[in-house]
Amino acid sequence: MTDRKIRNMEEFASVSGISRPTVSKYFNDPESVRQSTRERIEQALERYDFRPNIYAINQNRRLTKNIGIVVPYLADPFFAEIARNIERRCIEAGFWPTLFSSHGEQEQENDILSSLRSLKPAGVLLAPLGRASDRSVIEKFCKDVPTVLFDSNIEGIGEAFVGSDNFSFVSQTVEYLTRSGEPPCFFEMSTPANPNANKRRNAYLKVMEDLGHEAHVVKVDGEGWAFEEIGRNGALRILDVHGFPTDTILCSNDRLAIGLLSACYEKGFRVGRGEGCALRVASHDDHPFSRFTCPSLTTAAHDYDSVADHAFRTLQDLIEAGGTFQNRQETLFAARLVLRASA
């Protein structure tokens, strides 16, 4: 037996050289893994004198093996992609994921949380609406059900939050655009549905100030989640009247940028870096379709795999800990600049 103290199953899996999902399967049902694997796990248990949180495991069994995954708008390919990644991790670890979409509506989000209670899930991964959420409802749910928030943070609610570093997104795009051409204006909705938009606008203002450039925020009317339509209609109005304040446009998200590219095409404005191009357009998210726009869209990419993986592993740790952490955890992943033809 070694003197090293193993605190949780994450560490045990690491030192034993066995995958985290396989270790979880063993503790839920030793007969569910191969005999050779079972022997390796049992040897490691003896060596490190590790005893898992039996209360948490038994509680998990009483609550079934269900995992709830809640996103604000499943028709958005960003949420479809990250939900797909999370679902796969749940299945690989022996859980049964159930996916819900709030359809951008507070009442629907509240109803989903009410329904999840009846399923007695082992835990929930929740991407809340944010500004449109009923904070009191989500707060009460998170106290009753082990919950990890992802993508959209509501300060102080849930045991953990996993998402992307919005300052990293914007700082990379602004620095590249100012280095390679005219400084960008920022194109966004007047009333954005997702709170990440506010963080991106604030980051744009901060980076432009630090670089000594004048900031221009261009707001377009529109509410809800039809971002492409809002971007297109808003850009058409701007191009019809007076145009953009600079020839470089940085969009709050890729879906708005896709609408803007459509408007530019309709009005005969060529977008890109080459000769004869009137505008450069860049954005944030690396929407799954952004590489197929015309021209393909320069963007700052989410680390989809890391966010999905860490969110699920954090939820596993939370379940094993009995539903609470000593301190609320927040983890942010940096963006990666992807250069394409639009800027």
184: closest CA among 149, 218, 144?
218
Q: Assess whether pLDDT exceeds 50 at residue 324.
A: yes
How confident is the model at residue 1, as a pLDDT?
57
Is the pLDDT assigned to residue 5 strictly greater than 60? Answer: yes
Distance CA 184, CA 91 (A): 43
Rounded to 5 degrees, what angle do the CA atoms 58, 88, 308 make? Answer: 90
The CA-CA-CA angle for residues 198, 265, 188, to 5°, reads 10
C-alpha distances in angstroms, 208 versus 10, 177, 201, 295? Answer: 42, 11, 11, 26
Give 291-308 pLDDT, tens digit per residue: 999 999 999 999 999 999
The proportion of the chain whose per-residue pLDDT surpasses 70, expressed as a percent, equals 95
Question: Mean per-residue pLDDT for 232-239?
Answer: 97
Q: What is the mean pLDDT of residues 219-228?
A: 92
Q: Report the share of the chain in percent with pLDDT over 90.
A: 65
pLDDT digits (tens, 9 = 90+) for 145-184: 999 999 999 988 989 999 999 999 999 999 999 999 999 9
Q: Judging by beta carbons within 10 Å of its beta carbon (0-12, 13-18, 19+), is residue 161 exposed, middle or buried?
A: buried
Predicted structure pTM score: 0.78
Q: What is the mean pLDDT of the chain?
A: 90
pLDDT at residue number 135: 93
Q: Higher-confidence residue: 26 or 203?
A: 203
What's the angle, vertex CA 15, arms to CA 13 and CA 18, rounded to 5? 40
Give the confidence band of 58 by pLDDT, cuts at 50, 70, 90. very low
More confident residue, 308 or 131: 308
